[in-house]
Amino acid sequence: MQRMYRNLIMALCICTTSPSFAEEVLNCVDMASTGFVWDGKGKVKDTNFIEQRHTIKIVSETERTITMTGDSVSAGSPHSYRCNRNPDGSIECHNLAGTMPWLFYRNTYTRAFLAGPPTGHIWVAYGACTKF
């Protein structure tokens, strides 16, 4: 009898658990990346940047953790982002410094890096995400 109750409770727990509580993980790949770089003399030139890959963990409606993957020096370091849903269905996310915004729409994204002169660079990339 106890075994039957235990099985019934387990079945109820499985059936009533909402999938919205499960963390979702996305694999995102840049399709193109371009921008501007400044040299040490303050001159700017346009350039293409290397496309990158990211793993994105959707922690909640308002939080995502983004980790660059691959061979980059920045690979493996997770960064926390705060997110807001827009009326058009897109989701905008920003890091604490506000220098690396992301805009997600369905399975696509646009992201940027905003650091300017005198020796910085600015770039914009776009790409697509798939679920792991």
Q: Per the domain annotation, does 11 fall within a domain? A: no
Position 120 in a domain: yes
By residue range, what is the domain housing residue 60?
20-131
Closest CA to 128 of 56, 29, 32, 24: 29
In whole angstroms, give the CA distance from residue 95 to residue 83.
9
- Is residue 93 one of the residues assigned to a domain? yes
Tokens, residue 127:
């790409």
Q: What average pLDDT does range 12-17 have in this prediction?
A: 41
* Cβ atoms within 10 Å, residue 19: 6
Q: Does residue 15 lie in a domain region?
A: no
Domain assignment of residue 64, yes or no? yes
Q: What is the CATH number of the domain that holds 46?
A: 2.40.128
Least confident range from 20-24, 64-68, 82-86, 123-127: namely 20-24
**Mean per-residue pLDDT, 103-124:** 89
Is residue 132 very low, low, confident or very high in pLDDT (cuts 50, 70, 90)?
confident
Domain presence at residue 77: yes
Whether 7 maps to a domain, the answer reads no
- Number of domains into which the chain is organized: 1
Given this model, what pLDDT does residue 14 score?
A: 41
Q: Is 9 inside a domain boundary? A: no
At 39, is the secondary structure helix, strand, or coil?
A: coil
pLDDT digits 0-9 by tens, 46-98? 999 999 999 999 999 999 999 999 766 667 889 999 999 999 999 999 998 88
pTM above 0.85, yes or no: no
List, for residues 2-11, the tens digit of each pLDDT value.
554 444 444 4
